[in-house]
Amino acid sequence: MPASSPSFLAPKGPLGDMGGRVREPALSVALWLSWGAALGAVACAMALLTQQTELQILRRELTRLQRSGGPFENGEGNPWLSLQEQRPESLEALENGERSRRRRAVLTRKQKKKHSVLHLVPINITSKEDSDVTEVMWQPALKRGRGLEAQGYVVRVWDAGVYLLYSQVLFHDVTFTMGQAVSREGQGRQETLFRCIRSMPSNPDWAYNSCYSAGVFHLHQGDILSVIIPRARAKLSLSPHGTFLGKPLWAETGRREALDE
Question: Over the chain (261 residues), what is each successive 10-residue block's mean pLDDT?
Answer: 44 46 63 74 81 84 73 49 52 69 66 76 95 96 93 95 96 95 93 95 93 95 96 95 92 51 41
- Cβ count near 243 (within 10 Å): 24
Distance CA 45, CA 30 (A): 23
DSSP letters, 65-90, are HHHHT-TTTTSTT-HHHHHHHH-HHH
Instruction: Kindly state the greatest CA–CA separation across the chain.
Output: 169
* Selection from 146, 145, 160 nearest residue 220 by Cα: 160
Strand, coil or helix: what is 150? Answer: strand
Question: Which pLDDT does position 179 carry in this prediction?
Answer: 96
Question: Which pLDDT does position 15 carry in this prediction?
Answer: 45
Q: Which pTM does this prediction carry?
A: 0.55
For the chain, helix (H) and strand (E) counts, in that order, are 4, 11
Which residues sit opposite 229 in a β-bridge?
Answer: 134
Q: What percent of the chain has pLDDT over 70?
A: 70
Question: Which pLDDT does position 66 carry in this prediction?
Answer: 74
pLDDT in tens, 187-217: 889 999 999 999 999 999 999 999 999 999 9
Question: Which pLDDT does position 65 carry in this prediction?
Answer: 77
Question: Which pLDDT does position 201 carry in this prediction?
Answer: 94
* Selection from 93, 75, 95, 77 nearest residue 85 by Cα: 75
Question: Which pLDDT does position 159 carry in this prediction?
Answer: 92
Question: Which pLDDT does position 116 carry in this prediction?
Answer: 86
